[in-house]
Structure 1
Amino acid sequence: METRVTRSLRLFLSAAFISGIALPATAQEAETRPAPRIEVDASTLDRDTITIGGGVGFIPSYEGSNDYVVIPVGAVRGKVNGFNFMSRGLQLSLDAVRDRKTSDIDIMFGPVVGLNLNRVNRIVDARVRALGTRKTALEVGGYVGIGKTGVITSEYDTLAVRVSYVRDVTGVHDSYVITPSIEYGTPLSRRAYVGIAGSASIVGDRYAETYFAVDPAGSIASGLPVFARPRGGVKSYSATLLGNYALSGDLLRGTQIFTILSYSRLQGDFARSPITSIAGSPDQLYGAIGIGYTF
């Protein structure tokens, strides 16, 4: 039963979450006074539900950029016949394991499909723009994970670990992206929810060459030094903080405001590439704010 509550409360925008900032204070507070009890009508837990939302966000103009662009954002998540689905950025995933009413352990497994729009357009820096754009990559794969409900603050908070694997099927970068993550989320009341997480991104050599290499022709066109054959590996570590507040008074239905802020740090050849080290920055910020509705 708790698993269903937590899934309903988990914010539908994500990628990822931040590590450790709010946890020490939360744990200390829990020791000194009991967590507030959140009453939930059991009849709302078994129903099918869908949440849709939209807003505005800011992202680097390409991976490794220190210029930012404002973009529209949208998201969807829901549950139909006990099966959960959700979007994370430009990825859509389905949990093929049906909810179990009596367990506080959540086994997650299912397909993932998404788009990679890196360097497709909106490149602000003229030097990187001179290197040319890339086509949109369609990435397909899957994920597996496990979560537990009732961990720290209440019977409704959740801790989960998961790892996803996707591969480009359109020949744009012809490589893979592996994303392990650890996530924690808790409702503060029937109105408010917060989530934190940490994740990493691991990619192949072809990914690094497609988005971070500078060949001799590109060096002449852009003025950036040659950076041939960058190696794949750990591309970045990320940390994210998110929040959700129900204007209707209930996170399980009605209108909600959401916000998300994420920090990512590029590693290895991804940070050493002149696309990052000269024309951009290894420090990457992402954020969004918007409004959603749960049916």
Structure 2
Amino acid sequence: MISRNARALPAAALLILGLPHGSAGAEPDAGLAGSSLILGLGVGAGFAPTYEGSKRYEFVPVPAVSLAWNDTLMIDNTTARLVVIRTPWLQAGPLAAWRPGRQQDDDHRLKGLGDVDDAFDLGAYARIGFGGWSASVSARQDVIDSGGVLVGFDTGYELPLSESFSLSIGADATWASDDAMSANFGVTRRQARRSRYDEFDAEAGFKNAGLSLGASYALSERWSVRAVTGYERLLGDAARSPIVKQGGTADQAYGFVSVTYRFGL
């Protein structure tokens, strides 16, 4: 699982911290090719905003946990994907994901807004890849509460510079429904009375877009070090929200390093 405080980290960065995610038809590492179950356990740390839209940053510990079963079930930190359609260049299927919420105690600027509950999402994804390039789209709906719908887009390119070292660059964007935008960026009349912010109705639209840069170094067949840094820009009503305009900023940055051990069963 991933720390609640890292909720602002985009999916592209989480993938870099989890299993390698080259082309859609990528094969397991040679040393683990005979294993039907491949686990990755690691520890990561870095910095991230205290909440999505915050201008204040904090140190964030991030466990890096991954699982691949028969190259069919993939779990990377908070997201599980099942491959039901597979070609040399395409993977597609259902997904399930935990979406961490927000607590008003995370930052004094959130006082009076109340907590945003965690969400459990169900949805689907499709991913294509050729060589080092890949792109994916996913749609997910909270099935527990009113967390709304998120549609994510990401693309990236991985460039091997040696047998041990590779660089990757990525871009991502997220569209959010009315419920998803309201939960994180809206201010109800009741919240406005209790907080420093004016009432604001956050409507559906693109929530953010960003770029990320990652690096991976294989210390051995099973041990690896990964790093990722990136920039996200809040868009639309997310950027116009008084929570962001008065108490934070639409410009978001993050950076993490993780060490991971992978083994097969």
TM-score range, shorter chain: 0.7 to 0.9
- Quote the Cα distance in structure 1 between the aligned partners of 2:118 and 2:69: 30
Deviation per CA, 1:60-91: give whole Å up to 9, x if none.
Answer: 1111111122222122335433425141x532
Alignment partner, residue 27 of structure 1? none
Structure 1 counterpart of 2:127: 145
User: 1:206 aligns to what SS in structure 2?
Assistant: helix
Equivalent residue runs for 1:44-123 within 5 Å: 44=31, 46-48=33-35, 49-83=38-72, 85-87=74-76, 90-97=78-85, 105-120=88-103, 123=106
Amino acid at match of 2:110: V
> What is the distance in 2 between the residues matched to 1:71 and 1:96?
35
User: For the Cα contact (< 8 Å) 2:104–2:114, is it kept in 1?
Assistant: no
Secondary structure, counterpart of 1:135 in structure 2: coil
Q: In 2 relative to 1, CA 106–79 (structure 1 residues): closer, same or farther, beyond 3 Å?
A: farther
TM-score, structure 1 as length reference? 0.74
Matched, 1:160 2:128: no
Residues 94 and 57 of structure 1: CA distance in aligned 2, closer, same or farther (over 3 Å): farther
Instruction: Please give the alpha-carbon distance, in whole angstroms, between the structure 1 residues aligned to 2:105 and 2:169.
Output: 29
Q: Contact 1:69–1:122 (CA<8 Å) still a contact in 2?
A: no
Match of 1:279 in 2: 247
| Aligned residue in 1 for 2:214 | 242
1:1-295 equivalence runs, <5 A: 15-16=11-12, 44=31, 46-48=33-35, 49-83=38-72, 85-87=74-76, 90-97=78-85, 105-120=88-103, 123-124=106-107, 126-149=108-131, 158-173=132-147, 175-227=148-200, 229-248=201-220, 253-295=221-263
C-alpha distance 56-69 of structure 1, shift in aligned 2 (>3 A): same
- Aligned-residue CA RMSD (Å): 2.2
Structure 2: runs of 5+ lacking an equivalent: 1-8, 14-28
2: distance between equivalents of 1:276 and 1:222?
14
Q: 1:55, CA displacement in angstroms?
A: 1.5
Contact 2:225/2:260, CA 8 A, preserved across alignment: yes
The higher radius of gyration belongs to 1
- What amino acid is aligned across from residue 139 of structure 2 in structure 1? Y
Q: Which amino acid aligns with 2:55?
A: N
SS at match of 1:112: strand
Q: Structure 1 residues 231, 82: closer, same or farther in 2, change over 3 A?
A: closer
TM-score (norm 2): 0.82
Using the TM superposition, give the Cα deviation of residue 271 of structure 1 relative to its aligned residue in structure 2, in angstroms.
0.3
- Larger strand proportion, structure 1 or 2? 2
Give the aligned partner of residue 19 of structure 2.
none
Aligned identity (percent) is 30
Q: 1:72 to 1:244 in 2, by over 3 A?
A: same
Count of matched residue pairs: 238
- Could you give the per-residue CA deviations for residues 40-61 of structure 1, whole angstroms, max 9, x where no partner exists? xx96474233332221132211
Which consecutive unaligned segments of at least 5 residues does structure 1 have? 1-12, 18-41, 150-157
Q: Aligned equivalents of 2:155 and 2:165: distance in 1?
A: 21
Task: Give, in angstroms, the shift of residue 256 of structure 1.
Answer: 1.1
